[in-house]
Amino acid sequence: MNDTNEEFGGIFYFTNPTKKDRVKLWNNVEYKFPAESTVPLIIRNEPLENIQEIRKRFAKDLALERLYEGEAVKNREGEVVFDYKKAKEMGNGLPPTFDEKILEPMIEECLKPLPIARMGTTEGKKDNDKKYKATKAGFTSSPTEVFREDENREALGVMPG
């Protein structure tokens, strides 16, 4: 997709490049992303600019999940740039620290298209209006406002060109 408005169809897509289905939560709704596929990211009650921010957040979360599951981070040339498991072993079991910029290749994988699939949703739990901490934004919150404290929010993810 080029940066021209004529080619943008009005829908953002999210790619799950992993071999297992993934679930992300937003506003107490679970969004299910089938393995090795791309889905249109349609989130009710959210304008396009918010969906783009949510999409980047989902991509970053998925990249972190993959890292903590033991998947090595590779650059665009396929070379390993960070191996969390190996770094943890070298630190005698202490969790290693890392610059989140190394996640960009994994984040970009979520923003590029694969075969189109269908995303599923499930309503979250509702008992006596308890506040769950699984999702950060409310229906009246803007993701830009909610995540403004994130220093690298603008730098994460690159739109495919």
* pLDDT score, position 63: 92
* pLDDT score, position 150: 55
Q: How far apart are CA 77 and CA 137, in angstroms?
A: 36
* pLDDT score, position 112: 82
* pLDDT score, position 114: 59
Pairing of β 80-82 and β 73-74: antiparallel
Domains of the chain by residue range: 10-125
Please list, residue by residue across 140-151, b when 16 or more beta carbons sit within 10 angstroms of its beta carbon and e when fewer do. Answer: eeebeebbeeee
* pLDDT score, position 153: 47
CB 88 within 8 A of CB 72: no
Q: Which two tokens stand for residue 2?
A: 């080029």
Q: How far apart are CA 48 and CA 76, in angstroms?
A: 29
Q: Can you name the residues that pair with 24 across neighbouring β-strands?
A: 31
Walk along the chain (161 residues) and give the pLDDT tens digit of each residue. 444 344 667 889 999 999 999 999 998 999 999 999 999 999 988 998 899 999 999 999 999 999 888 888 888 788 888 888 888 777 777 777 788 888 888 888 888 875 667 778 887 776 665 555 555 555 556 666 666 665 444 555 555 54
Q: Can you name the residues that pair with 16 across neighbouring β-strands?
A: 37
